[in-house]
Every structure is written in structure tokens, then in C-alpha cells.
Chains A and B, each alone.
Chain A
Amino acid sequence: MGYVAVKGGQDAIENANRLVDYFRWKGKTEPIKVDQARTQMRLAVDRAMGEGSLYAPAHAALALLQVEGDSFEAAFHLRAYRATLERRYFAEVLNTREMFVHRRISSTFREIPGGQILGPTRDYSFRLLNPALLQASLGSIEKFIEGLRDAIDPCKLHAMTTYKKVIDIFLNEGLMSRQGNPDEDRRVFDVTREAIKFPVPRSAVLQMLARSETGALMCMAYSTMRGFGESHGTVGELRVGEVPVRIVDRRGRTRYVGKIKVTETEMVGGSMRRSPDAARQGGKRSEGAALSIGYGLCFGQNETKGICMGMVESALRSPNPDNPANNQEFVLYHTEVIEAYGFTNHLKLPHYVTFQAGLESARRVARLKQERSKEVAVGAGAGEGGND
């Protein structure tokens, strides 16, 4: 190896990797099992699967353990793994009306057909640190589960059921139309197989939002509610539960391949408050109907993402260059987690050539200035001479 400004790059990388392991293990605690992470870090797993665009809880748990809990890195590992997988089948369109519902709420009505089901949520718990968790053991977990089972009266159990959707109410009343905008681009686009071009069809928008970074999407959605948009969508329905996935095999038979947990959100928005700006730009809302939905669907239980996706999806159908969240290019490019994460972090790479080019240019400018001021001085001197 010859002379170079940075020597031993390969050694440095290997040592860096070793040091990462050292900092992970130096506390000398019991290694966390993948199964433990998968079950006890449930929401982190769900988020990683959503942003990683791969429904694989065990892989997501492994990713989270491997990267010491960093949500960006976990999503990145899943995406990189996903990119190596062969695509053997395409799933049939999910029917979320078939969902085995864990949780289902609507904020548009007090009562909804089938009832509100609060389900597993931390929404109404006090955010107080719980030292009791320090005492948890396998024994206490068993006891808790047994207690829960005993508390259930088998006579009061309903048969397994599915639920109608809240939007059915609007559909039946003609407040919402099944007919989309006839001008809408209804192609099914695959963002993993083709680079997007603007304007992007709705299918691509939904795919990209479903894969976007939760926090970035929340930022966009939040902005529409406080000054940078005119939406305050209402949660028509938010449901979390398991949906069957089916494929059609090579002989044309429909096959059940398993179920996935998803969060589905239908944000109801009125077209009454449609901005004149949006109307001028052909904001896409169904003709005649008073209400429309902003749709959100993501892997696992990630309600923040589901709601924000619904709001942003709705905002994107009313383009308005004044608001970040109403701008397809702004939202879709900048909420894309792997790209944003990678590019912001690439600033750690050496930039000395580019910097040198800039520096040289700055020096040239300084030199020019100096020469110019000398010329001015000489010119002034000559002028004085002339007066003599």
C-alpha cells in the first residue's frame, strides 16, 4: 500500500465493528432472546416492519437487537434484506372487512354499528413510570394471564365476528361515493420496481406513505392542522387487527398464506372546506359527494402512523404549493426513511476534495478582490499625479 492521507481504512472498519460489539456487551448482561424482543418489544417490531416494508416479526426483532434498538437502522436492515428476496407471488387485495378486530374506534359518532372496541391501547393510561415492572417474572406473567382468563365469563363470549365499516353509513346515505374521480390515475404502481415520476398515481402515494418514517409522517400531518394546511380530519374509523392474506397459485387456485396484523385508518374529511387553490388545481375529490376519506394502512399496530397517513393522503389529493403536506414531491421524497437517513448521515464521509474546490474558489475571489483594490489605488494615484 502506497502513501495515502488515510491509512489502514480496512483495519479501522474492523476495529470499529469490534468496538460496537464491545459497547454492546461490556455491561455483561444476559443476551436478549429474539423471541423476547419479538413479543415484549411488540410496537418497536411493528414499526420496524412498517418502515422496513417487510412483514416478518422475527426478522424485525433480530434487526432491532442487532442495531441496539435504533429504529432507522432496524428498518434499513429489513429493507436491505427485502431487496434480496425473490417475488414469487402477488397477494390478492386485502379485504379489511374480514379483519379479526383487536381494537376499533370511531370519533365521528358516539355509537357505531358493532360498537366501539377500545382494545389494547395506552391512550388512557397515566404516563407514570411503573416500578412494578422491575419485579416481573415468568411466574408473575403466568399469574396475570390466568387471572385474565378467570375473569372472563364464557357465557358472555360473542361468536367470532367481523364488523361493518363506519364509512358504510356515509356510503348508504350518499354522503360518500364509491366512484373515485374519473380522471384519477388508477394504475397499480410498484415503487420498489420503478422510480416514481410526478404526478404520482394514488397507489404509489399509498405505498410510499405506508413505508415512510413514522416521525416524519407525523410532522407532515401535524403541520396540516396548525397553520400549514386546512385539514382537521376526523377519525371515521381506526381499526387494528389481523387480516388474512391470499395468493393465487400457478394453477389459479386461491390460497390462504397467513394473516398479518395491520392498522387501518379512514379519516373523514369534508369537501366543504376545500380551498379555492385546491379547486383551481383540480383537487381530486369525487364529484357530488360531500365527504371523502383519507386512507391509511400500515403493518402492525402503529396508530400514529395510520392516522397521519390518512391525513397526509387526504392533503396530497388537494395540491397546494404553499403547504409542505399538500405537496407530493415534498412529502414523498422527504418522509422516505432509508433515503433521508442515509443521505443525512453521508455528511460523515470525507468531503475534502469538494471542500478544497470550494476553498480554491474562495481564495481566487479573495485574490481578485485584492488585485481590484490595488488597481483602484494605482488609478487614484495616477489621478492625483494628473492634478499636479
Chain B
Amino acid sequence: MIENLRFQESFNYAYIDEFTKKEIRRKTLKAVCIPGYQVPYASPEMPISRGWGTGGLHLTLSLVGPDDTVKVIDQGSDASVNACNLRLFIKEMAKCAVTFDTAAATIIQSRHRVPEEILTEKQILVLQVPQPEVLRRVERHEAKTRIMHAEADYAKIWVTLYEAYVRSGTLRNGAGHPILVNGRYVATPSPIPSWDVPNLSMARCLYLFGAGREKRIHAIPPFTRVEPLEFDDIRFKVEEFIGVHCSASGQDKAFMDQIYAEDFSRFWVINDSNFLDKVRQGPRPSQRLFTNPE
């Protein structure tokens, strides 16, 4: 009854057809050429939900080859259900190797975390982005935000930072601190914690940001200057885990998860699951650590 040869036979290599891949690659190259600029792309539907990493998948599947080793993390963890699901899909479709080992991966797709371990020039970090438009909080219309970017008119976002400081005493609440890329475009680093933001600057690896639902790609090429927005006197700060040690490794100086036991007692563990494994087995991999200004 249903003549669906596509399902009986196999999908194209890495699922996406070659024309679409070509488009994604071209748009990715454009994004790399204009650091921090959001490049619109067609963003076809994928067999996973919008908002669950379709943009990341588009990038990963357009980059991956049979010789690649792919790692997928969600909120720092390799074993999170969505990470498992995406990893399985990529592995089945691209017939590539997959790994938990950050250092062994050639492509790392991540949601909301940059790995603690330093990434090299042989690696690409693909970040899933829910809202690529950093100005959306201050301007709801796409037509206007594009003009604001073109004119480098970022006054409104500076005002929100100022207001956040006046109200709360800190520059901003939570993840996704706005960044200035290569001195030109203000962009979102995706909702990574502030802890990860300094690692975007002058890194050896390529950072790609895929927002499938919003149909945008942006990039931070290797060795590109990335500055978190801050004032001369009120400086950007990363999360401080004061007096906190990982209950699984006894170590500190990493982004921590707060975990509650049955009796509501609180303990902490290192969030990056592979980093935690390596720390426990030793030696501790090298990190770029940021010291908060006074």
C-alpha cells in the first residue's frame, strides 16, 4: 500500500541530502568569514523536535565523515537522554565513531556547555542554540534587530546590563552572557554558563552555533577575540563556587552541579562528565581558568 522506498532502502549518507548539506556548508563558511554574524539558512525539518538540537544536528551532519569521531553532550553530560538519542542518530546515519572522551573527538556537539578540557585546532565544537538573536530580549522584531546589527547599534543591550547592575548588583543573571565577537558583532554564546564564556576567546578550536528553529548559524573562528560585555568599572564575572568541592573527586575549579540526596542534603559534583572521569582517574587535564577581577 505505502510505497516508501526511502524507508525500505537507506537514507542519504548522514541523513541530510547533498543539496541541503551544500547549503549548510556554504552558510557555515560565511559564518566563519564574518565572526559573530547570524547567517540565515533553510533549516529543513529533522526527525527530532525543533528546539532539541536540530541546528546542532544540521551542522554536525554536514561536517561529519566516516573518519570522524563524534561526542555529544547535553548540559555537560554524555549520558543525558537527549545526548544519547542524538549520538545514536549521528552514529547510525554517518557510520562514524563516537566517544565520551573529549580529547578523542573531532566534532563535539553540545548543549549549554563548553567542555572544561582545552580543545585543539583539530576539533570543532558545535553548540545548540535556542535563541540566536542576542537582541531579542530588547527588540522583538527580526527586521529591526537585523538593522541594529548592521549599524552596530547595541545601546539597548548595554542599558539592560546597566539596569541589571542597578537592580541586583551584578551585570546579568544566569547563562548566555552577551559577547562581542572580533570587536564587531554582539552575539549570544548560547546559554552556556558565564564560567565557559572566557574559553571562547582566542581558542584553538572552531566554535559553530546552530539554531535550527530560528534558522541561523553563527561562528567563532579559532584565535578570535571574544569579549563578554562589561563596563570599565563593573566587570564580567564567572560563577564562583565558594568553599565547594566535588563529592565524587574531592576537587574544585570546575563548573559544579548541585545534587540533592533523599534527605534534601546538598552535595556537589563536577558537571562535565568526561572531565570528572579523567579527574578521578588522573592526571587532571589542562584547563583555561578565568580569575574574577576584584
Contacts and interface: CB of A to CB of B under 8 A. Distances in A.
B11 A84 contact: yes
Given A2-B274, A5-B77, A85-B6, A342 B51 contact: yes
Interface string A165-186: 0000000000000000000000
Interface string A75-87: 0100111111110
Please classify how large the interface on chain B is, using the bins under 10, 10 to 19, 20 to 34, 35 or more: 35 or more
Contacts, number: 190
Given A339-B50, A343-B130, A346-B130, A362 B173 contact: yes
Given A195-B41, A338-B50, A353 B76 contact: yes
Interface residues of A, number: 60
Contacts of A81: 6
Contacts of A12: 81
Contact of B45 (A10, A80, A349, A350): A80
A96 B39 CA distance: 38
A354 interface: yes
Interface of A is mostly: helix
A250 interface: no
Contacts of B213: 339, 342-343
A378 interface: no
A369 B168 CA distance: 9
A62 interface: yes
Contact of A346 (B52, B79, B146): B52
Contact of A361 (B6, B173, B256): B173
B42 A9 contact: no
Given A195-B215, A342-B213, A354-B191, A1 B52 contact: no
B75 interface: yes
Contacts of B77: 4-6
A346 B100 CA distance: 24
A135 B202 CA distance: 74
Nearest to B113: A353
Contacts of A198: 141-143
A189 to B, nearest CB: 12
Interface in A114-137: none
Given A3-B273, A9-B81, A352-B75, A358 B174 contact: yes
Contact of A6 (B81, B111, B174, B194): B81
A259 interface: no
Interface string B2-27: 10101000011001010000000000
Contacts of B282: none
Interface of B: 1-2, 4, 6, 11-12, 15, 17, 40-47, 49-52, 54, 74-85, 88, 100, 111-113, 130, 140-143, 146, 168-170, 172-176, 191-195, 213, 215-216, 237, 239-241, 248, 255-259, 269, 271, 273-274, 276-277, 280
Interface of A: 1-10, 12-13, 34-35, 58-59, 62, 76, 79-86, 192-195, 197-199, 329, 338-339, 341-346, 349-354, 356-362, 364-365, 368-369, 372
Q: Which 4 A-B pairs have the closest CB atoms?
A: A342-B50, A346-B51, A2-B277, A358-B174
10 contacts: A1-B79, A2-B276, A9-B85, A59-B4, A197-B142, A343-B51, A346-B50, A351-B75, A353-B255, A357-B175
